[in-house]
């Protein structure tokens, strides 16, 4: 009986480890979620990332409130159907672009990752 319990516990622990790893693998590489903001660096110009961000917002059904930028900075602001605001700030660094995504007042990590994935698909 005790041997069966150990086998069951080992199976449950293995399942938790496998599930946890699969969740982490779904997140885009080189992204960090901290204090409600998802940050990542994309290997494209700020102009390309700005266009991709607008396309990502549209493909996710966000209403674009503001989309402006130049070679020094960019921002795309939108609202979800429920009225929640989403902001994506863009900053160039050499040939790359730093992206900061914040959804809602305190942040929404899963939806921030959805926006980042959509931006990457548009590039």
Query: Does 18 map to a domain?
Result: no
Query: Does 73 map to a domain?
Result: yes
Query: Does 57 map to a domain?
Result: yes
Query: Does 15 map to a domain?
Result: no
**Model pTM score:** 0.76
Which CATH number characterizes residue 70's domain? 3.30.310.80
Percent with pLDDT over 70 in the chain = 76
Residue 40: pLDDT band with limits 50, 70, 90: very high
Query: Does 13 map to a domain?
Result: no
Domains in the chain: how many in total?
1
Host domain of residue 64: 30-122
* Predicted pLDDT of residue 90: 98
Query: Does 23 map to a domain?
Result: no
Dump pLDDT digits (tens) for 48-97: 999 999 999 999 999 999 999 999 999 999 999 999 999 999 999 999 99
Query: Does 20 map to a domain?
Result: no
pLDDT beyond 60 at 115: yes
Q: Which residue has the higher pLDDT, 103 or 13?
A: 103
C-alpha count within 13 angstroms, C-beta hemisphere, residue 26: 10
């Amino acid at each position: 009986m005790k041997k069966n319990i150990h086998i069951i516990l080992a199976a449950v622990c293995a399942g938790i480890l496998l599930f946890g790893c699969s969740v982490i693998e779904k997140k885009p590489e080189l992204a960090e979620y901290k204090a409600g903001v998802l940050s990542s660096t994309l290997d494209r110009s700020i102009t390309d990332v700005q266009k991709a961000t607008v396309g990502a917002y549209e493909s996710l059904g966000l209403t674009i409130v503001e989309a402006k930028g130049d070679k020094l900075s960019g921002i795309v602001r939108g609202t979800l159907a429920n009225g929640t605001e989403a902001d994506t700030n863009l900053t160039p660094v050499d040939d790359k672009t730093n992206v900061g995504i914040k959804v809602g007042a305190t942040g929404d990590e899963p939806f921030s990752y959805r926006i980042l994935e959509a931006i990457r698909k548009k590039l």
